[in-house]
Amino acid sequence: MRDDGEAEVERFGWVHDAIGDAACVTMVESDDPGAVARAFGGVLDQAWDGSLGELHDDGGVTRQVAVRRVGDGDGGLVIGIEINGYQGSLPEVVRRVAEHGRAVSAFWNIDRNTSFCHGADGRLLTTFDVMAPDGRHGDAPDCLEGLRAGLPWDDGDWIQLMFALSARVLGRPFERAWLDEDFTIVPILTWPDDVRDEIQPEYDSLTYDEPTMAYALRTSGAAALRRAARAAASYAAGVAGLADDPMVLNGLNGRGAGDLLALERSLSGQDEEARPRAVRAVRALAASDPLAAAHQAIDSARSTVRAERGDLPPLRGAVLSALGDPAPPAGSRGLAAGDGAPLERYGWLARHWLAPSGRVTYIRTSDLAAVARACGVDARRAPTGPAALSDAPAAAIRQEGDWTIVVESHPSSVITPEARRRLSESTMVVHADWCARSMPIFYYLVGGTPLTVLRPPGVDDASGEAPRALRQEISDVGGAPEGRNGTYQGMWMLALAERITGVPLTPGSLDLPHLLTVTPGDGGGSAG
């Protein structure tokens, strides 16, 4: 029998077909659609009336929001819909929209990225990725925790979850019929992104797009971070042809933040998309926190280079040079395993370079060459060394007793699900996969069949041929993990894997010789 939370989510099953695979839906307690459109950056004198189907996507050159007042009775509600857009999920837009009334926005795209935002009184109160709702931030990040309770965050449909939470926040559900009337379709001249004075690096895209650089930033001092941020901003300005612009030069020297904000907005929407992105990189230098400044400046500089269809390695080189050219992290980094309960023994993971993203596969076989082939390398020719963080998909392979262990840190995996299945056909495979900003997953395969598939913390919702096959092992590690994502779940899964295999993953074991599928720090993959 479904509980009330599941029923609340299921009532929004129509959203996928009616709105699509990529959209941002904003709802504001207001009677004034024009004011809400202006808060988006809308150009009202270029607006027209039309159906939702008339919203178009031209590659992001012309952004649009469709707005209308809906509902009758007490209080007004304005909805703003972007098809394949995201402006309503930006803090600078949420704050402006929330000047006109309580507001919520739900963003999703085809890459399974999501964002839920809630604002009021001109403030962004809370925002979070639905896949990782514990990574909340804003002026009051926990303000919706009471309303979030009771909805199926572990296994509910992410898009429908956002609509269910919106209904709880505003006290009225989004209705399918609201989409059938004409909207006012308004072109948007986008507001420049806010410079953030704080950052959660485990949730930031740079941590996953540039793993070794991001690690170097997290372990650098304030002065080095400021040098790295300025190096990135200077590089971006040069790429965009703005190196001699007086306002940009002032920004590089710590002056004229207001002028840069106006300059970026004046350049937005032009054909030369690299220019506003470069200005954004320079604006990032004003962040009060050096790590936040570096992340934002580098991310905007990367975006500038891509807009010019340039190469990223020179930018990467400039930033790493400013940091003193640190080597990619490898092995234990001086950490040691803890004592005591299973989870305590894996507490080191939270301080390790594997913390943001990692996967460990245990194959019960002594055929190291077969595992290497499954990872795409010849064991006779592969280099050896400690496990290391890499900018390209990479695997580190070693043998311990009856088991072969594969350690990966890059978000893209070397050992595919099909390879894991084949490797398990005549033996056993245990696989733990975690990421700070998405759902973890744990596989237990025997004879080519997934016996148990877990998505912690939803241990009671295990799937596979034998969902309860690991009941005793789960009990031995202390039962289901707490409702947290990312690194904590990685600790729990490694403890469970040890209970199944008898093989602990310790920091010291990462220092041992491994077969390596790629040179550590290789600039390929998503970072290239």
- Asked whether residue 264 falls in the same domain as residue 161, the answer is no
Say if pTM beats, i.e. exceeds, 0.85: no
In a domain? residue 519: yes
Q: Which of 288, 322, 356 is the last residue of a domain?
A: 322
Residue 385 burial (C-beta neighbours within 10 Å; 0-12, 13-18, 19+): middle
Q: In this predicted model, what pLDDT tens digit does every residue of 322-374 receive, in sequence order?
A: 999 999 999 999 999 988 888 899 999 999 999 999 999 999 999 999 999 99
% residues pLDDT > 90 (the chain): 75
Cβ 102 vs Cβ 169: under 8 Å: yes
Over range 428-433, report the average pLDDT.
97
Over range 210-234, report the average pLDDT.
97
In a domain? residue 412: yes
Provide the pLDDT confidence category of residue 73 given band limits of 50, 70 and 90. Answer: low
- Asked whether residue 181 falls in the same domain as residue 206, the answer is no
Q: How many structural domains are present in the chain? A: 3
- Asked whether residue 353 falls in the same domain as residue 460, the answer is yes
In a domain? residue 328: no
- Asked whether residue 132 falls in the same domain as residue 23, the answer is yes
- Asked whether residue 60 falls in the same domain as residue 207, the answer is no
Q: Which of 154, 188, 222 is the last residue of a domain?
A: 188
Cβ 511 vs Cβ 413: under 8 Å: no
- Asked whether residue 159 falls in the same domain as residue 206, the answer is no
Q: Is the pLDDT of residue 527 over 50?
A: no
In a domain? residue 332: no
Q: Is the pLDDT of residue 234 over 60?
A: yes
pLDDT for res 139: 92
Tell me 338's DSSP state: -
Q: Is the pLDDT of residue 2 over 50?
A: no
Q: Which of 217, 368, 375 is nearest to 291 (CA)?
A: 217
Q: In this predicted model, what pLDDT tens digit does every residue of 436-482 receive, in sequence order?
A: 877 799 999 999 999 999 998 888 889 999 999 999 999 999 988 87
Domain around 370: 342-527
In a domain? residue 335: no
- Asked whether residue 438 falls in the same domain as residue 473, the answer is yes
Provide the pLDDT confidence category of residue 132 given band limits of 50, 70 and 90. Answer: confident
Q: Which of 291, 322, 353 is the last residue of a domain?
A: 322
| Buried b or exposed e, range 441-480, using 16+ CB within 10 angstroms | bbbbbbeeebbbbbbbbbbeebebeebebbeebbeebeee
- Asked whether residue 51 falls in the same domain as residue 132, the answer is yes
Q: Which of 292, 90, 126 is nearest to 199 (CA)?
A: 292
In a domain? residue 194: no
Collapsing DSSP states into helix, strand and coil, what is residue 454? strand
- Asked whether residue 395 falls in the same domain as residue 467, the answer is yes
% residues pLDDT > 70 (the chain): 95
Higher-confidence residue of 193 and 20: namely 20
Q: Is the pLDDT of residue 204 over 60?
A: yes
In a domain? residue 195: no
- Asked whether residue 116 falls in the same domain as residue 240, the answer is no
pLDDT for res 107: 97
Q: Which helix (H) or strand (E) holds 432?
A: strand 428-435
Q: In this predicted model, what pLDDT tens digit does every residue of 364-405 receive, in sequence order?
A: 999 999 999 999 999 999 999 999 999 999 999 999 999 999
Positive or negative, the Cα torsion across 327, 329, 330, 332? Answer: positive
Provide the pLDDT confidence category of residue 116 given band limits of 50, 70 and 90. Answer: very high
- Asked whether residue 49 falls in the same domain as residue 150, the answer is yes
- Asked whether residue 162 falls in the same domain as residue 241, the answer is no
In a domain? residue 79: yes
